[in-house]
Amino acid sequence: MDFHFTPEEQAFREEIRAFLDAHLPDPVPEDDPGFLREWNRKLREKRWVGFSWPREWGGGGGDLIRQFILKEEMAARRAPALGLDFMGLTWVGPAIIAHGTDAQKAEHLEKILDDEEHWCTGYSEPDVGSDLAALQCRAVLEGDEYVINGQKIWTTSAHVASHIFLLVRTDPTVAKWKGITCLLVPMDSPGIEVRPIENLSGKASFNQVFFNDVRTPVGNRLGAEGEGWRVVMGALANERSGISESTEMQRHLDDIRELARRASRNGRPALEDDGVRRRLSDMEIRIEAMRLTGLRHLTDQLRGKPSGSETAINKLQRGILEFEMSELELELLGSAAQHQGLLQRQTLAWHGTVIGGGSPNIQRNIIAERILGMPRK
């Protein structure tokens, strides 16, 4: 691809930088709900939340290259996210735009942008492991309602979500990926029970979700019955493409490098240790490879090619790197106890990023089967 930006694109980058200079405090009060609401309001005024969404549904109507510039600049400056509902903005909203009725778009899209709805995704189940197509949570059509029974697990943010993007089995007689349907279900529906699961840092982001005769209207079905697999594969590809991920990873690596300056090994700064320097250099190279791979995906998208299995490459690399970076961070924290606390809790909370959207082994399978054409065992 051409790595040069047009004068108009560069002007947009300068506009973002000027906005951040004027409105982003240092340090960023990330745990202040009032600041985050006000920050989201300012971004909405600029139509930068949902930047590439259609303007008729509240988005910015922007192109992909400017969206990339926007995300890159925000990540580089450690700004809060573009919008407060990550799942709603990353894959639920785009799935509704692609497959939803006008009524569903009118009901949900602007509420996602305005932080009036918060979404979780009901994919994983206790007895099907990594085989998403083998899910067993059932939905039976009774009149103009689906009746849902079953269980989901590792459901991120279900304890605070207003809605769930839910995959259910509606036809057990056909091939397993053909009998799946996607439903948009309010979390306050009678019969839904949420049980939080604590992670290693003592916080609960994952949950078990139980459905006991939960009723939801047919109008809450996203796409046709039996097309849930197609809907969710597009949603997952959108989540995995993450063209600004490498900037976030570089930011994390900068934090580790600064920690290595403060920590000590054998009476010297850890950053002077050859082993630590090699590990940091290796991570730097792999993050740069992620950046270039992300730009390749961006180029494909700019040429009209939808995100496909290739997005699993960066998802896999990020999963491996997150684990290795957290491991090094914990080693360094052991000799820099005064800097523990928040850093340590963040280091112990890597599971959501690594496992969410498909574990590293899932990404390896996708790469092997769909890109390299290797046979399944």
Catalytic center residues: 239
Helix (H) or strand (E) holding 184: strand 180-186
Tokens 């305005």 map to which residue?
114
Determine whether 341 is exposed, middle or buried from the number of CB atoms within 10 Å of its CB (0-12, 13-18, 19+). exposed
Please give the Cα distance from 319 to 82 (Å, whole number). 22
Residue among 222, 224, 246 at smallest CA distance from 315: 246
Residue among 274, 281, 265 at smallest CA distance from 334: 265
- Six token digits for residue 279: 């590990």
Residue among 36, 124, 37, 19 at smallest CA distance from 74: 19
Helix (H) or strand (E) holding 312: helix 312-333
3-state SS, residue 221: strand
- Six token digits for residue 21: 């200079």
- Six token digits for residue 315: 């998802």
Whether the bond between 27 and the residue before it is cis, its omega within 30 degrees of 0, is yes
CB 295 within 8 A of CB 301: no
- Collect all residues with Cβ–Cβ distance below 8 Å to 105 and sequence separation of at least 6: 57, 96, 97
Please give the Cα distance from 271 to 12 (Å, whole number). 37
